């Protein structure tokens, strides 16, 4: 699996394109505005076909170019059903531009798997930042695409629409059960590992609350 990465938009969203060079199939994760030009260029350069647009959750800074990328590539959009309404009726909050609505066609259900060529991503439902937040685990490649659930040294905000401190505690406790070597690729900021974050996540799990 080949992995491409760009930092896109006014809040520096990490946008990922994953591709299988053999089958030339690819997926895009968290298509923030304005990622269409970068994604289409990367696909054309490698002669890849985009098969799926994946939204780790429904906040505007992760779904803003969903409609544009879908229209350009014909790829369907995937999101957890509990966040589907955030795509069909986007709430821009602090967005500096209009967020076009998009129509999800694939449900990222707990335990489901995204499979294209060498790409294998297992869906982990990790609510807390939003009701339908998910992480995507590539066990073969030792990667966790954590959206806005887990960052380097921090967790996603729980004071935005859909947020829940109690559910975030549960989700972080679940991620703390993963293996140390897993490389965490979050929705914003730098990469980390489960091992590097383990100490404070274990504290969250044992204390049953987020640190103050």
Q: Does pTM top 0.95 for this prediction?
A: yes
3-state secondary structure of 205: helix
Confidence of residue 93 (pLDDT cuts 50, 70, 90): confident
pLDDT attached to residue 84: 98
Please write the tens of the pLDDT for every residue from 12-65: 999 999 999 999 999 999 999 999 999 999 999 999 999 999 999 999 999 999
The two tokens of residue 42 are 């990367």
Could you give the domains of the chain?
2-207 (3.60.15.10)
What contacts 100, CB < 8 A, 6 or more positions away?
Answer: 64, 66, 67, 68, 90
């Amino acid at each position: 699996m080949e992995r491409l990465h760009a930092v896109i938009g006014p809040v520096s969203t990490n946008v990922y394109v994953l591709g299988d060079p053999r089958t030339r199939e690819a997926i895009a994760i968290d298509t923030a505005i304005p990622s269409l030009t970068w994604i289409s260029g990367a696909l054309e350069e490698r002669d890849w076909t985009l098969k799926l647009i994946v939204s780790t959750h429904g906040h505007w800074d992760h779904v803003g170019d969903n409609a544009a990328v879908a229209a350009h590539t014909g790829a369907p959009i995937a999101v957890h059903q509990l966040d589907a309404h955030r795509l069909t009726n986007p709430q821009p909050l602090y967005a500096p531009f209009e967020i076009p609505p998009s129509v999800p066609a694939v449900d990222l259900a707990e335990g489901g798997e995204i499979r294209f060529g060498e790409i294998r991503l297992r869906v982990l439902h990790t609510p807390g930042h939003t009701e339908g937040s998910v992480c995507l685990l590539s066990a073969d490649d030792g990667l966790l695409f954590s959206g806005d659930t887990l960052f380097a040294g921090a967790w996603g905000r729980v004071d935005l629409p859909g947020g829940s401190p109690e559910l975030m505690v549960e989700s972080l406790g679940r991620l703390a059960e993963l293996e140390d070597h897993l490389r965490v690729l979050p929705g914003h900021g730098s990469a980390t590992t489960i091992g590097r974050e383990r100490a404070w996540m274990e504290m969250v799990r044992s204390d049953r609350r987020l640190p103050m």
